[in-house]
Amino acid sequence: MWTVGSIFASTRTGQWPIRLAFVGAVLIAIAGASIAAQSALGSLPLPLIYVTWAAAGFGVGLAMLHLTNWALVYSPASQSGVVSGASQTMRMLGSAAGGALMGSVLNAIGSDPGQLRLSITAIFTVASVIALFPATIGRPKIRPTV
């Protein structure tokens, strides 16, 4: 679904990119909240989990393309190579930091069978809140033309 979201987003121009970045972030946040709710409630149908992960992947595809593109478009042309490399490096560092944060939450609450449901709920609640950043205070302050 990440690929499908990217393909869909790649054909949109004008004001669509900023809207798609917003929608993508919201889809990711909703998916995180849905997984947290599913974990808290327990035993929900497996197809619902598939739909949730598909929505998250589609949201990443919608948002990632434009967020990365804006980093390049709004940097000086002489720095495009540096910005491109830094963008990829920051994605990797963000993934590592996110994994460390979620591991810390798991360790703080506990991973034993009695605490695992609460831990997973907390982890995906945190992920849902973090996913809202590009849709709220992290939104680009200028209107992209690309």
Q: What is the pLDDT of residues 50-105, one digit of tens each?
A: 999 999 999 999 988 888 888 888 888 888 889 888 988 988 998 899 999 999 99
Q: Does the residue 94 lie in any domain?
A: yes
Model pLDDT, residue 140? 65
Model pLDDT, residue 92? 92
Q: Does the residue 12 lie in any domain?
A: yes
Model pLDDT, residue 136? 77
Q: Does the residue 141 lie in any domain?
A: no
Q: Does the residue 97 lie in any domain?
A: yes
Q: Does the residue 144 lie in any domain?
A: no
The CA distance from 123 to 127, in Å, is 6
Model pLDDT, residue 143? 61
**Angle, CA 51 vertex, CA 25 and CA 22 arms, to 5°:** 15
24 pLDDT above the threshold of 80: yes
The CA distance from 44 to 142, in Å, is 42
**Banded pLDDT at 21 (limits 50, 70, 90):** confident
The CA distance from 146 to 125, in Å, is 33
Q: Does the residue 140 lie in any domain?
A: no
Q: Does the residue 146 lie in any domain?
A: no
Q: Does the residue 142 lie in any domain?
A: no
Count of domains forming the chain: 1
| Domain hosting residue 23, numbered range | 2-135
Average pLDDT across the chain, whole number: 87
